Amino acid sequence: MRIYFIDGNNLMGKIPSLQKKLKSDKIYVREQLVVQLDRAFGNSNNKVTLSSMAL
């Protein structure tokens, strides 16, 4: 098993589809980031910890 620690704020600014909405709807962007990470890691044996500071 691999363990990933992801800085959510940094990652939101790196995904073009999320970056466009970041200034107008931060809650939506956070939810979509979780959805995308769940799709990427949900069926794996890996563990993901998503950190986020208040925006």
Per-residue CA distances from 26 to 12, 22, 47 (Å)? 10, 5, 25
The pLDDT value recorded for residue 38 is: 93
What total of structural domains would you count in the chain?
1
Going by pLDDT thresholds of 50, 70 and 90, the confidence category of residue 15 is very high
Length of the chain: 55
Over the range 24-37, which residues count as b (16 or more CB within 10 Å of their CB) and which as e? eeeeebbebbeeeb
Q: What is the mean pLDDT of residues 9-37?
A: 92
pTM of structure? 0.82
Helix H or strand E encompassing 49: strand 47-51
Q: Look up residue 38 and give its amino acid.
A: D
| Boundaries of domain holding 24 | 3-51
Looking at the predicted structure, is the pLDDT value of residue 12 above 60? yes
